[in-house]
A = this chain, B = another copy of it.
Amino acid sequence: MAHGDKQRITVDIHNKTYTIIGEESVSHVRMVASLVDQKMNEIHEQNKHLDTTRLAVLTAVNTMNDYLKLKEDYAKLAGSLNRKEDK
């Protein structure tokens, strides 16, 4: 699809339907939704007493933690690439 086009894609996450609006492809959005659904289910398995809101917030916290770790790894890798270029 052309860059800049926005489309509405519906996905199911933890038994609710969500409409995602964006420029990403349908397959990408479905993959993202499926990873979030999977993470929610994992956290739910470990904390059966959590209500859905808390479960969703903890899923967001967990994902943000993964994101920050990867960001650190990325910075390290970029650093070692720069050192190689300086040689």
Interface residue ranges, A against B (CB under 8 Å)? 13-14, 16, 18, 20, 24, 28, 31-33, 35-36, 39-40, 52-54, 56-61, 63-68, 70-71, 73-74, 77-78, 80-81, 84-85
Q: Are A66 and B65 in contact (CB under 8 A)?
A: no
Number of copies: 2
Q: A70-B70, A74-B74, A81-B84 are in contact. Are A59 and B56 (CB under 8 A)?
A: yes
What are 8 A-B contacts with C-beta separation under 8 Å? A18-B58, A18-B61, A32-B61, A32-B68, A35-B68, A39-B60, A60-B60, A60-B63
How close is A63's CB to chain B, nearest CB, in angstroms?
4
How close is A78's CB to chain B, nearest CB, in angstroms?
6
